[in-house]
Each structure stands twice: as structure tokens, then as C-alpha cells.
Structure 1
Amino acid sequence: MPTSADPAAALERTALTLGRLDAALDHHPLLPAWQHAVRLEAACAHAGFDGAHVEPQRLAALVEGLRLRPPASPAAVERGADLDALHTGLTLYGLMTAAADLRSERDLDAGTDALDHRRLVEEALWALTRPSSGARLPVLARAMRGWIADDRPRGAVRAALPVALQTTGMTRTLLPILAGADTLHPDSPMDEEGWLLAFARSLEREAEEGVVTLRRLEQAWRAARAALGPRRSTSRLPAAVDLLAAAPLLGPVRLAALLGCSLRGAGVMLAELVDCGAAVEVTGRGSHRLYGLLGHAGIRGETAGPRRYGHRRGRPPRSVVSEPVSAPERLPAPAPPARPERLEIDYGALDALIADTDRAIARVRRRLTDH
């Protein structure tokens, strides 16, 4: 009988676990949110293997372009370590988004690291998929082992492995959580049999964690729907919750475009979702706000909000004139919005969220250029 240390049995269990995760995510409406969440978690976990500690919520705030809360320690060395860790996490996140970016090289911004990331990932992908004989998982494991043994960039092969699994037919969906990260631990075995066993166990563990992450996102989705309470059949709030569940973060402009409503109407809906406890605002800004389900509340704790100059926000004024403080006038209540047309929820709108990946990728590259 095969034992727990048998690589063949471990690879068989891994293939079954990958199949379960792949089947659970196939055409799942939360797939964009899941891919974003596991990229953040994987980037932070991989950064930890490289000696850099960064929290997923903090990295998420940086990816969204939010101004970060400074570290609690005033020591310059602590601030420098925080910046180095964020740079490492952002680089790994950029490699993973480059692996998922289907644009041609001529459409990439030559002023950022996008081209370098694309070429590194493509080189790693070619190294993983070049061997064509034998079972797919052992071939990928041996190719990854050869890449690491040659002391080549580990972040590139971690980003390329999920693409290689999809390219070779092991998965139908791109699953960024699969990276065989345990094989990159300093005390990981480098002999072929030990490496195969570590590779199989790592993928099995990552796939199980991917299922847990999906269930957590589904639970947050159901909780947000329940927080709405009974609504009219013409209400667009359930559709807004569905889009917030499928997207990492949304602002009024994006929500209005996806629902086909006015910008003011989208802002009213988001404010109502916050009031009923179905969503949270994460930026702390007066404008250009971003909203997500309650699971994103931790991002708010990592942001410093807008810059303040006295009682003003934004750029400092040329001259500050003191004014007497007076009680604010009571503004009339806004008129209720017009009755919306009946909405037929079309999950095809969720496909439009994939276009947000381009925006996130461009923002990541600008951040990488700045650092």
C-alpha cells in the first residue's frame, strides 16, 4: 500500500484537490474577487519566504493607490523595512498580474517594469512547459526544481506555475494561489523524490486554502445580502451587492457604469449599503471613495486618509485666511431618486469587472516605478 511519503500517491491526491478547486471556481460569479484576494495573500506569503513581512490588507491599500498609514514606530529603520517589504510584495503582485495580462507587448507601458515582468514570466513559463513527456505534475515539478537550482528569479516561476497548470490542461481556470511555495522554504529538500513530495503537498495545501477563501467570500456575500433585508423587486441594491462581492473594490463611477444608472444614484446606493451594514467605505476620503463588503474593512485601518492642511484637504492653499467658526446651515433633504426601472440581474455585467484588472495593473506599475 502507498504511504503518506509516496510521491505518486501524493501527486494523485493533489490532482484530485486541484480538480475540486477548479470545478468550484468554474464560471463562479466571485472568480474575479477570489483571484484578487489570493494574489494578495500569495504575494504576502511569498514575500515572507523572501524575508519581508507585509500584511495583505496593507498591500491591498497600496495596490488601490491609497495613502498608507505610517508604521507605529518612529524609527527610520522601521519605516525603511516597511517600504522594502511593501516593494517586495508589490513586485511579486506585479509578476502575478503580468502572468494574467493577455495584452500584447506593444500595449504595455514601456516606462514601467511591465515589460520586464512579462518577459520574466514568459521565460519561466517556457521553462515549465518545454518538457512534454511524462505525467504533467511531475514534469512541472522537475522543471520548477531546475529553475530554482539555476538560481533564477523565484517570483517569476511562482507567477508562471498557475499559467503552466492552465496551459497544460491541469486546470481550466487560472488559479494564482497555486505556486508550490513550500518547495522554496530554506530547508526544503532538493533531491528529486523529496522535491516531488514537497511540491505535491504544497499544491494540495494551497488548493485547500483556495477553497476556504472561496467559502469565506461566499459567506461575506450572503451576509451582505441578508443585511439588506426585504426590498422591492425593483430595487437595484441586491445587484449592487452582487457587484461589490465580485469586485475587489468599487467606486460610484464604476458602479454607475456597471448598473447603467446615474452617478448620483450609485452614490446614494453605496451610502445606503454602508448605513445598513452591508458594505464599508475604505478610503476615508471626501471624494473618489471606494467601497467593499465588510471583509475589506481592514483596508481602512491601513490608510491615512487624505492629506490635511489645517481644516482643508488636498493641496495647501496659497494663503490661509482665518474665518470665524459658525454653525453649519441645515441643508434641505435631497429629493428621493426617481423610481428605477425593473432590473433584470444579468451576471454578464460581472465580466466587465475583468477590465478593472488593467487599471490595477497600471497602478501597480506606476507604484513600482515610483519605488
Structure 2
Amino acid sequence: MNKKILYVITRSEWGGAQKHLIDVVIGMKKKGLSPIVAVGDEGDLTRELEKNNVEFYIINNLVHQISLKQDLKAILELRNLVKKINPSIIHLHSSKAGLVGRIATKVSNYRIPVIFTAHGWGFTPGSKKINKYISLLSELLTSWMLNKVICVSKFDQELAEKYHIISKKKLTYVYNGISKDMNVDLVDIDKKREKVLFTMVARFDSQKDYLTLVKAIEKLKNNKEIYNQIQFNFVGKGPLYEEIQKEIINRKIDDVVNLLGFRNDILEIINQSDVFVLTSNYEGLPISIIEAMSLEKPLIVSDVGGVRELIDKNGFLIAKGKNEIKNIGKAIVQLTSDDRLRIEMGENSLSIFQNKFTLEQCVNNTEKIYKIYMK
């Protein structure tokens, strides 16, 4: 049996898709398969692959932005790699790699099954109109090249069905998951801390809505009793980092907001927090929320994409719209003033995680799909 699985992803910069990929790759390696990764650049992902002795190749012209010249070169690079490796299955991750990878496969070997994991669709509600049109068009034109499409949530599967871009027979969903046995040093929470600590972990870009959270925190200055009891950690980097930094200073909330930048100790930071927050304009199924759930944290999260599927009496689901800032504020007030509520919601988070969102479940469900196509 050919046990080689070629995974293709655009960027090595750390994010939810990269975290998911490395976990699945390691899981498949433990199951006796031979994972190989093709990625557009070197970075956080390739360093993790090296640590875990996973073979990888750099596709130099596989870039995030649209570039006809580079995209054609990337197709040729990937086609040559497919011919060299001759994998049993090609598993594509991220939109750009998903498009380039399916074309490269079909011009090199029509018989290799191609699976695509959609980490949130480009046409999901909240995304830019131009992105919606490009994403819908590309899927309509090339979905016939795919054998299976794995969505990370029921929401995304139903969204693809709604637009009729892919045959229902090709669609399924597999929830993201993380390991129950995290290899990190999680020290006990500082019980002596006087303030309630809220943490948001996200890239500073147009997808993640830090600005709305900043505005909600500013509004709480009118409630001095609560404002004096709260502290926020913002963890991440990205193109909007300096803009958000200026907003924090201009709105005079820098006394309660800490900008921690990019960190390698994310789980430790979340573990030391009392509440996890993720305000977003659109999502697939965020791994950061699942990590927080595994650490028994109550949640304040935006009702976008598949996020609703993570919430059941374990946090506050905030609808986008005119009352969003007000409702975030209310959630912060409730979780700050009610210790018992934080504990109960945190316990519910852990229970939901254990039942539905472990890495073992994710890997096993993905392997079941592989077995359909492996010879």
C-alpha cells in the first residue's frame, strides 16, 4: 500500500490552519502513514516539521497574493513534486494552495485523489465582496477536480451546499481538534491576582476584530467599579498591530490592555487567564477557542462561521451588528462580577471539548476519509 500523503499549504507563518496541519501530520505519522508537506515558504510551520522529522518541500512561487506568473510557476513546481513523490493522496489546505494544488494534480496525474480542507470559505458572511466573488468563481470552475471537501464545521458545509458550488456527495465536515495531553508546562493560575484577566489571541488583520473589543473596553470606563477589576492581554502580530496600538493609547485604555505581540507560549498565557475572548468578522472553526475550552475557560466570542457550534452554556455568543459593543460590555461585566459563573462556564467548556473537539477524534475521522481512497 502506498502510504504517502502529500499535504500542501500556502504559508508557514503560524495560524490556525498551520496548527491544524502539524497536529494532523503528526497524528498520521503515529498511525504509520508517511506524511510529506509542501509549503510556500520557511517559517514557524517548517520549524515544527523539522522538530518532528517530517519531510517537507518549499514551493517558492506558492504565494498568498494573486500573481498569474507566480501561480503558473507554482503549478509547475507542484506538478513536478507530485510526479517525484507519487503520493497515494494529496490533501490541500488554505484557499490558494487549494486552487494551485488541484490544478497541479490534474495536469500531472488524474488518478491521484485530491482532498481539500476548507478552513472557512472566502465567501463566508463578513468577508469582503471581491473575495466572495473570486472564491465562488474559483470553486465553481475547479471543484470538479476534487474528490472530497472537508469543512471544519457544519456551518461551512451548509454554506457550500447553499451556493451549489460542490456536489453534496463530495462534502463532509470534520471538527478541528487539539490534543488532550498538551506537552506544555501549565502552572497553576495565580490565585492572588486582584483583577479578572481576559485574553484574546489572534492575528492583527481585517478578519480579527480587535477594534470592536477596544471600543467595548473604552465604554466600560463609565463603570469604574468594573473597569478597576479588569485586565486584558492581546496576543499576536500582524499588519494592523500599530493601528490597534494607537487606538488603545488614544482611547486611554492602555492601563488595562497589555499588547504581548507574537508569543510561543500561547497555552500558558491562556491558562493564566480567567476568560478567553475572540471578536471576529468571519471564521471557520477557530482552534484558539478550542484551546481555551480545553483549558476550562469561559468564552466571549463573535457569532460568525462555525463558532456557534462551540457554544453551549460555556460562554457568551455575540451577534455582529449595532448592539455588538454593548453586548460585549455586558458579557465582560457579568464574567467579572460573578466568580461562580466563570467556573460553571469553564467546566462546560472542558466537557464540550472532551466530547467533540479532541485531536484524536479529528485524526481518526480524517483517516476514515483517507481509507476510502488509499489502495
TM-score range, shorter chain: under 0.3
Which is higher, the Rg of structure 1 or of structure 2?
1
Q: Which has the higher contact order (CA 8 A, sep 6+)?
A: 1
Instruction: Give TM-score scaled by structure 1 length.
Output: 0.27
Tell me which protein shows more helix as a share of its residues.
1
